[in-house]
Amino acid sequence: MMLEKQEIQLEKPLLDYMEEWKGKPGNEIMVLHKIQEVYGYVPRKVAMEVSRLMLIPLAKIYGIITFYHLFKLKKPGKNQIQVCLGTACYLKGGNDIIEEIENILGVAVNTTSDDGKFSLEIVRCVGCCGLAPVMLINGKTHGNVAKSDLPKILGEYTKEEALKNG
């Protein structure tokens, strides 16, 4: 059985960016950052096309993606929740926050909810130790979070979604 070659046509701005970085030191990481910016993650077909166009072994691309936690291989939810488990946040109940989010949204760590609205991940120290425990949603910091605060905080994001669709 032959595997069908699956090429993807990348958009011109991304192709131009790749051309600008081709042959420069650190080009792999810079291009992967750009891809993540455009798609929100690094789709397999895009990684394969970058490998082909920039003459970078696919194994090297995946080595970079899996080494740096910033890069994602799966499409994240529309609302990206990051819960800090640095020392201060961990000691002040970060794990309890994660468990409660899992219960409320039905989403596990490093997954996306079935409806695609939320993804949940653990991060290490976001630099707000005085506000522990801390979580970020779409980059917005929520500090001194208690389990009892979560329905209201998460409700803001489901309400925003309802308003956009309504």
pLDDT in tens, 57-98: 999 999 999 998 789 898 899 999 999 999 999 999 999 999
Could you list the beta-strand ranges (E) of 48-134: 79-84, 111-112, 118-123
> Based on C-alpha coordinates, what's the Rg of the chain?
19
Average pLDDT over residues 155-163: 71
